[in-house]
Amino acid sequence: MSSIKIFSGSSNRPLFEKVCEHLELTPGQMTVEKFPDGESFCRIEEDVRGKDVFIVQPTCRPVNDTLMELLVIIDSIRRASAARITAVVPYFGYARQDRKDEGRVPISAKLCANLLECAGANRVVAVDLHSAQIQGFFDIPLDHLSASPILDSYILELGYSPEEVVVVSPDAGSIKRATKHVTTLGGNLAIIDKRRHSGSEVEQAHIIGGPIEGRVAFLFDDMISTGGSICGAARVVKNKGAKKVIVAATHGVLCGPAIERLVEAPIDQVFLTDTIPLLPEHRIEKIKVVSVARVLADAIKCIHENRSISQMLSRMGSTGQYF
C-alpha cells in the first residue's frame, strides 16, 4: 500500500478519517480553503508523482461548493503527475437531474460526470446512485456500491422474525431495492402508489401487496430529502394497521422541513448512513447513523490491488462484512 495516497476535501472529514483507519493509512496532507471572493483553492502538501490517489468527497451541501472543491482537488493532483486518480463520491449530487422530464431543462447529472472526467478523474466510486443508469453517463469506470447490506445488518439486530415483517417500497421506482431487502429480511413486499405533483409535494393513497396490519413495516429509500415522500408513506402504512414503522435510507440529505416532518410522522426509528454528515440540528432521537466507511475502504483496496469489485460485492454478507 506504499504507492497509495488518500485525500479529502471539507465535505465529510469524519467519514474520510474512518476510511483511513480501516485502510491503516495516514491521511494525505492538503490545504483546502476559499479566497475572500468565495473561489476554492487547493494545494497538495506532499509528493504524489506516480502514486495511486483516492479523493473522498461527497458532493453534499453546499453542493456547488463541494463539487467545485472536488474538481479543484482533482486538477491539482493531475497536474502533480499522479499515476491514477479515483474520485470516491459517496453521495453524488445532482443525481436526481438525470433526464429531461420536460422541455428546456438540463441533464445536470451528465454534466457533473463530464466535469469529473475533464478535471482528470480516471475512475469514480459512488454509493447508491439515485438512478443506476447514471453509470452510463461516464466514459470512465464507475464502481457502484450499495449500503443495503449494512442497513440490513443493523435491522436484523432488532430481532424481528420474518413473519412479523413487511418491506414497503415508498414508490414504484424503489421496488427493485425493496425486493433485495425482502431476500435478506424475509417477510412480504408492499408497494405504495405515489404521485408527485411538484418537487416538494407528493400524494400517497393506495398500497399494493402486504399484508400490513399488525406487522413491522420497513420503508427503504435511497435518500431522504425534504421527507415528504417517506413521511407520507409512513402515515399510509400506519393507517393500514402497521404496529411499527422503521425507515432506512442511504443518504440523509435532510433539507427544508425534513426534520420537523420526521419528528411528527408515525416513525419509530430512522437509519441513515454517514455518506452525508449529520448536522448538529438534525440529531434527533429517532435517527441512528451507521457507517459505510468499511465498504469504501474495501473498495479502495480492491481498486488499488486491481481486484474485482463485483466479486467483493458478491461476498458481502447480511452483516455488512466481506468474506
Tell me the catalytic residues: 194
| CA–CA separation, 213 and 188 (whole Å) | 12
Q: Which long-range contacts (CB under 8 A, 24 or more apart) does 41-48 make?
A: 41/72, 42/69, 42/72, 42/73, 42/76, 43/76, 44/7, 44/76, 44/77, 44/80, 46/5, 47/80, 48/5, 48/77, 48/80, 48/81, 48/82
Place of cell 440529531: 283
